[in-house]
Amino acid sequence: MSDRADFTPTKSRPRVCIVAPSLRYVGGQSAQADLLLRHWQNDPDIDIRFLAVDPPFPSAFGWAERIPGLRTILREPIYFWHLWRGLEDVDVAHIFSASYWSFLLAPAPAALFAKMKTKRKPRGTRTLINYHSGEARDHLQRFRSAKFVLARVDKIVVPSGYLVDVFREFGLTAFAVPNIVDLAQFRYRERTPLRPHLVCTRGFSAYYSVDVVVRAFALIKKEYPQAQLDLVGGGPLESDIRKLVADLHLSGVNFTGVASRNEIGKYYDQADIFINASWLDNMPLSIIEAFAAGTPVVTTSPECMPYLVQHERTGLLSPVGDEKALAANVIRLLRDPVLAASLASNAHEESRNYTWKAVREQWLNIYCELL
């Protein structure tokens, strides 16, 4: 969707511009922004538009896309120009946000440009920061600019009660609106019999500790030699993970690459247990997707996780970094399929809290409150 097309301002409906990463870069923010855009299209209560924080380069500069530092420098003035034009006739700037330098490069300028536009309009543009990073506490401690910007926006919205509590530590009020899961992408099924076929849909980055998943899988293989592990994702540590698999002489580990939105459902469907070993998180969409697909969840428990997964009700929790405890919980499910079925059923019911039907009114109320 372009940042200008199919946008008809009206006096009665809030005119909302979602400022977020595009689907050119796979990630939680881009996926959530895309879901919001698709659901708001043709909605009688909202006029919606999209403005990408990663606008494409003119064809003459296409080569710069392959050079990370340079592409950021060249893209920033293009992004600023899009902000200046794209926020001209907007009531609410709904700005997606991560942390650290990306916060300064994308959300902070968007909030500033929206405020500049406010001075030129009687009604003004209201600013909403939709903060998604589990690194919020460290970000706010290390970057004074973060609190300076966040304290001056009109509303902060986060996807979890965990981040509401973190922002409160810094004197900032945030409101929780959960992430959305598109249930149409996932087929719920009962796992009978329960097989030792595991899936992990986390990227190969330090936060997600896929190495701990692999080490846990090595312990599971000793009990269930036929076990399989599908690693669905990509990232900077992929070569390290492949080396670990080779060093442990593990068979049955499948590197599938990054899955598109249209493909992701099949990986949950063909597996019987979802495994996660993150040590830092917020509200991982991958776990909500596992809930929707009926794939029982076994995960480590960083500070955020009990806000999402209830131990022995919607999943099994284990200490961060403890591959033995993680493996033991997987083996526990394989030995107790009744427990696995109960967890999956409860989690599937929980997933309904993350559907568009459940979330739509929450977003609509926030937009209307801003105005």
Q: What's the pLDDT tens digit per position in 25-42?
A: 767 898 899 999 999 999
**Assigned token pair, 326:** 């993680």
Comparing CA positions, the residue from 28, 104, 332 lying closest to residue 196 is 332
Predicted confidence (pLDDT) per residue in 304-351, tens digit = 999 999 999 999 999 999 999 999 999 999 999 999 999 999 999 999
How many of the other CB atoms lie within 10 Å of CB of 65? 15
Residue 364 above 50 pLDDT? Answer: yes
Q: How many CB atoms lie within 10 A of CB 282?
A: 26
Q: How confident is the model at residue 7 (pLDDT cuts 50, 70, 90)?
A: very low
d(CA 237, CA 313): 33
From CA 163, how far away is CA 17, in angstroms rounded?
23
Fold of 183-353: Rossmann fold (3.40.50)
**What's the confidence (pLDDT) of residue 5?**
42
28 near 41, Cβ under 8 Å?
no
Q: How far is CA 256 from the centre of its chain?
A: 20
pLDDT range class, residue 73, cuts 50, 70, 90: confident
The string of pLDDT tens digits covering residues 275-310 is 999 999 988 999 999 999 999 999 999 999 999 999
The reply to whether omega before 193 is within 30° of 0 (cis) is yes
pLDDT per residue as tens digits for the range 74-108: 889 999 999 999 998 899 999 999 999 999 999 99
pLDDT digits (tens, 9 = 90+) for 218-242: 999 999 999 999 999 999 999 999 9
Higher pLDDT pick, 118 / 23: 23
Instruction: Say if residues 240 and 263 touch (Cβ distance below 8 Å).
Output: no
Residue 152 CA to residue 252 CA, distance in Å, equals 52
- Phi, psi (degrees; rounded to nearest 5) at 45: -100, -10
Strand order across the beta sheet in which 316-318 lies: 253-255, 228-231, 197-200, 273-276, 297-300, 316-318
CB burial of residue 64 (10 Å; 0-12, 13-18, 19+)? middle
* Type of residue found at 213: V
Cα separation, 142 vs 245, whole angstroms = 36
The model's confidence at residue 61, banded by pLDDT at 50, 70 and 90, is low
Tell me if 93 sits within 8 A of 127, measured CB to CB: yes
Q: With cut-offs at 50, 70 and 90, classify the pLDDT of residue 3.
A: very low
pLDDT tens digits for 238-270? 999 999 999 999 999 999 999 988 899 999 999
**pLDDT higher than threshold 80 for residue 1:** no
Measured between alpha carbons, how far is 74 from 235 in angstroms, rounded to an integer? 24
pLDDT in tens, 117-138: 665 554 579 999 999 999 999 9
4 pLDDT above the threshold of 60: no
Cβ-contact 213, 248 below 8 angstroms: no
Closest CA to 359 of 183, 156, 137, 101: 183
27 vs 274, residue with greater confidence: 274
> pLDDT by residue (tens digit) across 160-207?
999 999 999 999 999 999 999 888 889 999 999 999 999 999 999 999
Query: Average pLDDT over the chain, rounded to whole?
Result: 92
Fold classified for 15-180+355-370: Rossmann fold (3.40.50)
How far CA 206 is from CA of 69, 161, 212, 241, 278, in Å, comes to: 21, 24, 11, 11, 8
pLDDT of residue 344: 98
Query: What pLDDT does 2 receive?
Result: 43
Phi and psi (nearest 5°) for 197?
A: -110, 110
Domain ranges for the chain, please list them. 15-180+355-370, 183-353
Reference 106, options 126, 124, 129; nearest CA is 129
Q: For 77-114, give the DSSP string.
A: HHHHHHHHHHTTT-SEEEEEE-SHHHHHHTHHHHHHHH
Query: What helix, strand, coil percent values describe the chain, rounded to 5?
Result: 45, 15, 40
